[in-house]
Structure 1
């Protein structure tokens, strides 16, 4: 078994150092603000090591992708696909900048012995849009980097395995679903409710998933970009003071990361993490 759901105990992750992330390429609303500004390489490296250490302290095995010069944004490991119990889904990047990552990550997964169960060949799909709601119900954001065709390909690949896959369209400015919605425990999520479709909110209600609401501006400060570790533990950013307080009031143990430089390229802890084993 590889990844059973989105909130059970996280056991192994795949991440990639930001070795060649030199400047924030203007490929999303956040990175546009820092476009062509050199990023602090020392700080980027320290933030990555902080993430590695947080996982090790939590007893989670860390696998690392080898960084290469042509994969500038590979630090956001989440985006090459999605992982379920039976294996992984290989996505397809929309931006040319990220094309080289596809083969590199597919090769890495082969080395790790994780089978590819389906892939997106014609449409677009990035892993930041992939979210478990329950063990057999998956939400897929159709926002900026995943389109209808990509969604249909994922649904066709996962349905024979018994998965229900639901589309979640939202404002393209939000980039990925994990920027405006994140499940942190079996029945608890953080989300900007007003930016999500009524049908999706009704589905969450039916599944008895409580939402900790965040304002729209929190999306662009990574207020929803959290990583569930299971056992009521969650990785969050130190700057997410209101969100972290709400999580704690709901019985969650919040592990705070002091990450700011990496965020300028448009991704947070969830974006930086591809789960390999959870259950």
Structure 2
């Protein structure tokens, strides 16, 4: 695990997922449109330079890592208030071996991983009301979808962290969803992250994997 020095003025940097994402061996530093979060990527770039780690940045438009979900050769990109269509086009240009598939989110949704999260090879959690019907059909054709309720979405139910071998770190307060996970053969690990959730993120938001299996 790598930790950057905490800075009190960067209180949103607990959600490290938003600052970058990795595709194959390419690290992309996000282009954050919100001024309050732009210094987070500056701190990350400084660390990357110090460690001599190469990265790509300067994606056209704005993008945050919470709107990027990678599944083999498919890159799902949530079009939210933080991520624009132009950046999805630029990402497709840079990663021509992949299929970048934009998903339009409802206006009140912060990031894609707040309403959609792949938890194993063919299964994903989803809050259906966040998507247009055409995009929902795309997801239904690719995954077995486990639905979360409006209350569970408010409690960041989809934003679990899958750590492999059917193990999923999840909020204990989402009892119905956790029972549903167990009924589908998953082993959920309860961790109370309710204070962090008050700021609009959960387990997936708080991790930034640099190596992909």
Normalised by the size of structure 1, how large is the TM-score? 0.72
Corresponding residue of 2:209: 275
Please list, as runs of the form range in 1=range in 2, the aligned pairs for 1:174-253 lying within 5 A after superposition. Answer: 174-207=109-142, 209-253=143-187
Corresponding residue of 1:135: 72
Give 1:121 shift.
4.0
- Pair 1:235–1:114, CA change in 2 (3 A): farther
Give 1:112 shift.
5.0
Structure 1 consecutive aligned stretches of length 4 or more whose deviation exceeds 6 Å = none
1:70-94 deviation per Cα after TM superposition (whole angstroms, max 9, x unaligned): 3221100000121111221111112
Give 1:136 shift.
0.8
Please list, as runs of the form range in 1=range in 2, the aligned pairs for 1:3-152 lying within 5 A after superposition. Answer: 62-112=1-51, 114-116=53-55, 118-132=56-70, 134-152=71-89
Distance (Å, rounded) in 1 between the aligned partners of 2:134 and 2:46: 37
Give 1:65 shift.
1.6
3-state secondary structure, aligned to 1:166 = strand
Corresponding residue of 1:58: none
Aligned length: 213
- Pair 1:113–1:219, CA change in 2 (3 A): farther
Aligned-residue Cα RMSD (Å) equals 1.7
* 8 Å Cα contact 1:81-1:125 kept in structure 2: no
Give 5+ residue unaligned stretches, structure 1.
1-61
Give 5+ residue unaligned stretches, structure 2.
none
Distance (Å, rounded) in 1 between the aligned partners of 2:49 and 2:183: 41
3-state secondary structure, aligned to 1:68 = coil
Distance (Å, rounded) in 2 between the aligned partners of 1:273 and 1:200: 26
Corresponding residue of 2:105: 170
Distance (Å, rounded) in 2 between the aligned partners of 1:151 and 1:73: 24
Report which structure shows greater RCO (CA 8 Å, sep ≥6). Answer: 1
- Pair 1:135–1:110, CA change in 2 (3 A): farther
